């Protein structure tokens, strides 16, 4: 079995963004961190992202979107993976994500069954959303709902859910920060959709970028990143004061650098958009790691 097509279909450059929400929720809960919860939650997030990428490859292949765009980098359209094999992989990944998710939820099951049930339903919804983004007759990504799904699953649910698994509570500042991360993650999707604006239009894939047009997609990106930076910085600055300034500066600088690069990319410069996709994903991960380092230093100093 040739693994290279499967690795390419997994789109490894998207995994840092998938990990960011779980890591942020865990960093903010550092005083109550549970290693098993972190490991299981991280595994679940990565499996869901690969599941979504495989389903996206399958859904766009079935609808002919990748063929219309001339996407030789997609594994089903290029013929390197067969549709039947991809369907089997989707089932396996969905079951693996469910299993790792149940492992992450185990402490909640033992202490708060009703909350466990709610979180389980959210997990099942995440599996459904990962598959239905472009697969199925009513794929919500074709109706401009992908951005909302990203804000919910990469931000709100990932950060708050992981934070709750560690601490058994929800906090408003964490909720605001989670929205900030969600807005930035939606920015990654908007870079992708701005790149594909022409081919998506031809394929009747009505993303936000298609609805807004090229100039509108640029303004929308500024709105997403601007709101994201504010929502990530202000709650933690108000909660912790000047000690958070270095992390705040990292977030603001990386966000501003992205917007400067993005607004100078020509509409047809596909390779430039691909590079910016990777840069923005890694920048968001760097922002989260910056918060983690700040939290570790803060706890170290407090415990000294």
pLDDT of 144: 85
User: Can you give the pTM of this predicted structure?
Assistant: 0.92
What digits encode the pLDDT tens for the residues 105-135?
Answer: 988 877 788 888 999 999 999 999 988 888 7
Residue 303 lies in a domain: no
Question: Residue 135 and residue 55: Cα distance in Å, rounded?
Answer: 6
Domain housing 233? 14-297
Residue 7 lies in a domain: no
Residue 275 lies in a domain: yes
pLDDT of 193: 92
- Tally the domains of the chain: 1
Q: Which residues of 44-66 are buried (b: 16+ CB within 10 A; e: fewer)?
A: bbbbbbbbbbbbbbbbbbbbebb
Residue 2 lies in a domain: no
Average pLDDT, the chain: 90
Residue 5 lies in a domain: no
Predicted confidence (pLDDT) at residue 14 exceeds the cutoff of 80? yes
Predicted confidence (pLDDT) at residue 304 exceeds the cutoff of 60? no
């Amino acid at each position: 079995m040739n693994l290279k097509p499967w690795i390419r279909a997994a789109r490894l450059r998207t995994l840092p963004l998938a990990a960011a929400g779980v890591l942020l929720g865990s960093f903010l809960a550092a005083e109550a961190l549970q290693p098993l919860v972190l490991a299981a939650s991280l595994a679940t997030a990565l499996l869901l992202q690969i599941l979504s990428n495989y389903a996206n490859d399958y859904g766009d292949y079935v609808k002919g979107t990748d063929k219309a765009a001339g996407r030789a980098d997609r594994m089903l359209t290029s013929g390197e993976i067969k549709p039947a094999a991809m369907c089997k992989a989707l089932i396996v990944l969905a079951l693996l994500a469910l299993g790792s998710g149940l492992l992450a939820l185990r402490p909640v099951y033992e202490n708060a069954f009703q909350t466990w049930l709610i979180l389980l339903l959210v997990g099942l919804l995440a599996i459904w959303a990962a598959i239905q983004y472009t697969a199925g007759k009513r794929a919500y990504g074709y109706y401009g709902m992908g951005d909302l799904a990203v804000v919910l699953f990469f931000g709100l649910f990932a950060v708050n859910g992981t934070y709750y698994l560690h601490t058994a509570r929800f906090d408003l500042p964490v909720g605001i920060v989670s929205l900030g991360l969600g807005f930035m993650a939606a920015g990654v999707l908007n870079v992708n959709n701005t790149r594909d604006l022409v081919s998506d239009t031809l394929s009747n894939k009505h993303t936000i970028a298609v609805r807004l047009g090229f100039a509108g997609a640029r303004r929308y990106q500024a709105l997403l990143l601007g709101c994201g930076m504010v929502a990530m910085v202000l709650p933690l600055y108000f909660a912790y004061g000047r000690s958070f300034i270095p992390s705040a500066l990292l977030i603001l600088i990386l966000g501003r650098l992205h917007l400067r690069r993005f607004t100078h990319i020509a509409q047809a410069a596909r390779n430039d958009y691909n590079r910016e996709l990777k840069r923005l994903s890694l920048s968001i991960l760097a922002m989260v790691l910056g918060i983690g380092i700040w939290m570790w230093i803060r706890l170290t100093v407090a415990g000294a």
